[in-house]
A and B are shown apart, each in its own frame.
Chain A
Amino acid sequence: MNLAEVPFPPSVEDFFLPSLAAGYWVTKFTLMIWLATAALIVFFLLAYRNPKLVPSRAQWMVESIYGFARDSISRDLIGPEGRKFAPYLATLFSFIIVTNIFGIIPFLQVSPNSHIAFPAVLAIISYVLYLYVGIRKHGLGGYLKKATITPGVPWVIYPLLVPIEFFTNLVNRPLTLAVRLFANMFAGHLILLVFTLGGFALFATGNFFYFAVGGVSLIFAIVMTIFEFGIALLQAYVFVMLAGFYIGDALEESH
């Protein structure tokens, strides 16, 4: 590529990749979602097809992912009845990890989660799930009362507090759940673009002093790639932990 044609600064347009087939339904993101789903299904099936008492390396990995979702998320945040949510949370966790890490794998290099559609669907599934378990346990009225009315508050404050609680618990939660994952992946990809394209754009100037700065920029791109790896794991954990926390909150007995 001609250095003078380096597209800098990066913009939102860089996230809309061209279609790979007729229409606009097969893009790189579609393929990556298929790849993530297939890889997870194949890996989990193969690793647990023939479980042994002394686990192989793959079996150990699968067991620790599931054990993590069961023990430190389901049991700690939902309680004793949380075990039935462990399969969902483990699936969510491994799917988000794989799709997040796509952001730093060479040739894939962009996470599907940097489009709001994918985190939104994941958040909607969790939202419907915790509404469903909450309503099934407490009844519709009981659940709404639990979600909107804070006990131990003078009734005078209710006109002010009930709308706030309603907004926080029933509107804001799925919204933040989706936007958090989306914005993290979006910002991470944008930072990598800034440092990488910025480095090449500085090389393209032909000014000797800019070359050194361009080198620093490329080194920083590598540093930020390692940082992105940490963010990918952390955000997957945060998403699943919040989903577990919301389920636990919906199931909790009224105060």
Chain B
Amino acid sequence: MFLAELTGDVSSLGYGLGAIGPGVGLGIVFAAYIQASARQPESAAPNRTWLILGFAVIEALALFGLALAFVFSGS
């Protein structure tokens, strides 16, 4: 006997769960950038490179989730 049962395609649910971590991470990255450039406006331009770098590295995790959601959606 099952306590709860989930049927159908749950891969999109997995993507939703997988997007939590990158979401928090992206929030931290951008919050830190805004804070840094508010405290020290002249550091805004050189820090932008690292902002995009961090953004790209974190975003890859969410995009893996998206790709895998489609990969496993048929099974």
Contact = CB atoms under 8 A, between A and B. Distances in A.
Interface of A: 12, 72, 76-77, 176, 179-180, 182-184, 186-187, 234, 237-238, 241-242, 245
Given A76-B49, A237-B52, 10 more contacts: A12-B70, A179-B63, A179-B67, A180-B59, A180-B60, A183-B64, A183-B66, A183-B67, A184-B63, A241-B53
Nearest to B56: A238
Nearest to B65: A183
Contacts of B38: none
Contacts of A245: 53
Main DSSP-derived SS at the B contact region = helix
B36 interface: no
Contacts of A72: 49
24 contacts: A176-B60, A176-B64, A179-B60, A180-B56, A180-B59, A180-B60, A180-B63, A182-B67, A183-B63, A183-B64, A183-B66, A184-B63, A186-B67, A187-B63, A187-B66, A237-B52, A238-B55, A238-B56, A241-B49, A241-B52, A241-B53, A241-B56, A242-B56, A245-B53
Nearest to B60: A176
B10 interface: no
B57 interface: yes
Interface of B: 49, 52-53, 55-57, 59-60, 63-64, 66-67, 70
Most buried by A among B59, B60, B70: B60
Contacts of B59: 180
A234 B70 CA distance: 24
Contacts of B49: 72, 76-77, 241
Nearest to B45: A72
A176 B57 contact: yes
Contacts of A234: 52
